[in-house]
Amino acid sequence: MIILDTNVISALMADTREVVAWAMALGEQPVTTAITKAELLYGIEQLPDGGRKRGYRARSADALALVHDILPVTAHSAEAYAAIRAQRQHDGRPITTADAMIAAIARQTGAGLATRNVKDFEGLGLRLVDPWNHTI
């Protein structure tokens, strides 16, 4: 299983060539997290009403339709989140709340994480994939 980070879903919405090609070559249907969905919808809700906002809503719905499931925050991922945030704080490498929650869900499910921001998630014991560079 592979989780798509917010920047990957955004790239699919923008029809970014290399990310679309990577997604088409996946041998499995990816998933994402409720955190990513919330980040996308928040960004759209900040836009003024009008055609641009409607367009982003439609593209986000299309991109989210590509995923097999939207994984929730569970009691177990909440525990992993606390450990990740504490570890990163202790190491002097703070991590955002959203990234720590996404990492926690990936850790608890054993899923890989596709993201352009690989450095934000390094050292957390996750299998990381950069769709822009097709690296693991």
89-108 pLDDT, tens digit per residue, is 999 999 999 999 999 999 99
- Asked, for residue 105, whether it belongs to a domain, the answer is yes
Q: Does the structure show a pLDDT above 90 at 29?
A: no
Confidence of residue 134 (pLDDT cuts 50, 70, 90): confident
- Asked, for residue 134, whether it belongs to a domain, the answer is no
- Asked, for residue 45, whether it belongs to a domain, the answer is yes
Q: Evaluate if pTM is beyond 0.85.
A: yes
- Asked, for residue 28, whether it belongs to a domain, the answer is yes
Per the structure, the count of domains in the chain is: 1
Which pLDDT score is estimated for 135? 55
Full strand arrangement of the beta sheet holding 112-114? 2-4, 112-114, 128-129
Which pLDDT score is estimated for 51? 94
* DSSP annotation string for the chain: -EEEPHHHHHHHHTT-HHHHHHHHH-SS--BEEHHHHHHHHHHHHTSPSSHHHHHHHHHHHHHHHTSS-EEPP-HHHHHHHHHHHHHHHHTT----HHHHHHHHHHHHHT-EEE-S-HHHHTTSS--EEBTTTTB-
- Asked, for residue 87, whether it belongs to a domain, the answer is yes
Please enumerate, by residue number, every residue annotated as part of a binding site for Mg(2+): 5, 99
The range of the structural domain enclosing residue 111 comes to 2-129
Please enumerate, by residue number, every residue annotated as part of a binding site: 5, 99
Q: For 33-54, what is the HEC assignment?
A: EHHHHHHHHHHHHCCCCCHHHH
- Asked, for residue 136, whether it belongs to a domain, the answer is no
CATH for 13: 3.40.50.1010
- Asked, for residue 69, whether it belongs to a domain, the answer is yes
- Asked, for residue 97, whether it belongs to a domain, the answer is yes
